[in-house]
A and B are shown apart, each in its own frame.
Chain A
Amino acid sequence: MSEQTLKRVDLIFGEYSNEKYKVLASTLERTNDDILNDLLESGLRGRGGAGFPTAMKWKYTAETPGDEKYVVCNADEGEPGTFKDREILYRVPRKVFSGMAICGKVIGAKKGYMYLRGEYKFMVPDLIKELDSYHEHVKELGFDFTIEIRMGSGAYICGEESALFESMEGGRGEPRNKPPYPTTSGFMKKPTVINNVETFVNVLMIMRLGPDQYKKLGTTDSRGSKVFSVSGDTPIPGIYELELGMPLDRFVDEFGDGDTKAVQVGGASGFCVPRKKFKDTVIGFEGVPTGGSMMIFNSSRSMYNVLHNYLEFFEEESCGQCTPCRVGCQQLLKGIVAVKKGEKKALYLDQLMKLSESMKITAKCGLGQSVANSFSSIVNNFKEEMIY
């Protein structure tokens, strides 16, 4: 292996333990405090993109009084350029269910839900098969925690946790005000832990390896490995499990096609990093965070087209509930088209930038707030392409 090669990790997709649900069985015998301590020690942060410390989320929910609590697995993977949860659910569903069950034990929940995006409906028969076997095993273990699959129906916003609860409750997928957070008021307004698919697998792996072994992967701020979805102008698109905290230039050396102009880290709601900043950019919570999406663009691509595509996406997927996002997305899209056509002066871009900044402050949820990420990082770094 040459020095230039990024270390491949085999944590998430590694083989199952030789006995079905063995790690789950041994974890169920431990005390909740013990499990939480291991999680805290591991430094695990949520893998959906936002990076909230998982141990804290579980602890808060466990401490909230109430008999009825829920565990929800967010499998509404909708971020453009992300397809790692599909792969995880296809290859290691057992690890996901085990992670959910451990959460159920810690917080005192008897019921778990997996909210799967409608686009992945074709996976349901296989998942149900694995779930049946899961239910048999927990029954044998005398542990009361059942898991049910709920389907989405083609709405990106339902990946936002409170919108996801609304959707599960039969409503429009419109985000709620926060606080209260799901730890006190989630599904059915009951205390709920909602984690990404990959987070639950990480939990199981921490239980299997112990926090010390787990911590050897990654950096201080970004412990463990991460599953990356690599797409765009690359000769080797696909799913890769890599250590967190890697510098972007090494990533590009390995995955780019030699002519990489920019990398969009974290999907349409993430950041666009231009070539000149590859060297100083770290992929992880201390640098540019990502839910896994890495889209590579080479110099043949127009960044105007890229931004146009993202804004069309946001305009369609905005739930329309709050004005900054509903109107903002439309105006940003109209604005860049007008500048490109010469109907507006180039300086108008500054005004659009201000608009995106106000959206960041005033939009109700993460969707509207994060439009500014890709907007400002693309416009700032590729201004000429927006104008000419």
Chain B
Amino acid sequence: MTDCKSLIHELADKYGRERSSLLPILQGVVAKNNFLSDTCMTDIAKELDLSAAQVFGTATFYSFLDTQPRGEYVIRVCKTITCDMHGKKTIIQTLEDMLKIKVGETTPNKKFTLLETNCLGWCHEGPAMLINDTPYSGLTTEKVHDIISEYVNKK
């Protein structure tokens, strides 16, 4: 994990120290550290001269701003209706079997977190998932195997 204070300082230099800079800064920290720790949120509050409650309030509102530890790769499987109709359950099952974790959990080696999410905007090619920022659609059991194997082998 990158040192929070210097990362925040760097992000604040880039995005500014206004209240409106808060979201880009929070997003920047999540992109680097995968989640926002309590210390990190307090540090952001200090940097932007806000109360910790304001930072915490904003951070906890957004589903992509995780406030608990996440793996290096966060997998979000779309659970909205058309993906559900086209086999989302099988995809979740495949991922759970491969990673040996349940939805909401992180692998012991901190590499993967498996989550469900609402509509990703790939309804015509469902089922779909995001791994960090990369979308994958038209998923089948085989496709999921290939994709995850690739990530497993990534250094």
Contact = CB atoms under 8 A, between A and B. Distances in A.
Task: Indicate whether A and B interact.
Answer: yes
Interface of A: 77-83, 86, 117-122, 150-156, 167-174, 188, 229-233, 237-239, 268, 295, 301, 305-306, 309-310, 313, 316-317, 319
Nearest to B26: A153
A295 B82 contact: yes
A153 B19 CA distance: 16
A295 B123 contact: yes
Interface in B70-122: 79-82, 84-85, 117-122
Given A153-B64, A231-B126, A237-B125, 12 more contacts: A78-B118, A80-B118, A81-B81, A153-B26, A153-B62, A155-B62, A171-B58, A230-B124, A233-B85, A238-B124, A295-B123, A313-B80
Nearest to B64: A154
Contacts of B84: 305, 309
B121 A120 contact: yes
B24 interface: yes
A305 B81 CA distance: 9
B24 A151 contact: yes
Contacts of B23: 150-151, 153, 167-168, 170
A157 B123 CA distance: 19
12 contacts: A77-B121, A78-B121, A80-B80, A80-B119, A82-B119, A83-B124, A119-B121, A155-B61, A156-B118, A170-B18, A171-B22, A268-B80
B51 interface: no
A189 B118 CA distance: 30
B20 A119 contact: no
Contact of B22 (A170, A295, A313): A170
A251 to B, nearest CB: 15
Contacts of B118: 78, 80, 154, 156, 313, 316-317
B80 A309 contact: yes
A153 B123 contact: no
A154 B27 contact: no
B55 to A, nearest CB: 9
Given A301-B85, A310-B81, A317-B118, A150 B24 contact: yes
A80 B113 CA distance: 24
A78 B119 contact: yes
Contacts of B122: 83
Contacts of B80: 80, 268, 309, 313
Given A232-B82, A237-B125, A295-B81, A173 B62 contact: yes
